[in-house]
Amino acid sequence: MASPLLGIAGVNSLLFAAYGISKRIISPFGQLSLKETAAAGAMAGAANSVLASPVEMFKVRMQGQYGNPLDKRLRVVAREMWAESGFRKGIMRGYWVRRLFPFLSLFFFFLLSFYLSPMGGKKLIRGS
């Protein structure tokens, strides 16, 4: 039970750290426009997929054995994936699809969160 919680905590930590860094890369002046906020979210999603892809692959493998009396621990599942298919075709399988999903979803998430926030919507309507 602890391994999925730790994995998700790591993924979310990386996501918001990458978002903060992306915002500073796009504009060091602090206040971002709607487009800049969406771009920072997309950049954070792309960075996040590096950790999220293996975490999701491990989760799928762990959930696939649910109810089996001989459930394997995370480290056993990871070792088997590495031994069977290696890093690129095993652990990072589905990386490019997993990279595209957060890129697009976080683009729209941060776009809408900025637009729907009290300050973001007012700034957008006033045109400043």
Across all residues in the chain, what is the average pLDDT? 80
Cα(17)–Cα(73) distance, rounded to whole angstroms?
Answer: 29
Classify each residue of 37-64 as buried b or exposed e, where b means 16 or more C-beta atoms within 10 Å of its C-beta.
bbbbbbbbbbbbbebbbbbbbbbebbee
Q: Residue 105 pLDDT > 90, yes or no? A: no
How many separate domains does the chain show? Answer: 1
How confident is the model over 9-66, as pLDDT tens digits? 877 888 889 999 999 999 888 788 888 888 888 888 888 888 888 888 888 888 888 7
**Which pLDDT value is given to residue 127?**
46
**Which pLDDT value is given to residue 48?**
83
* Residue carrying structure tokens 């973001």: 120
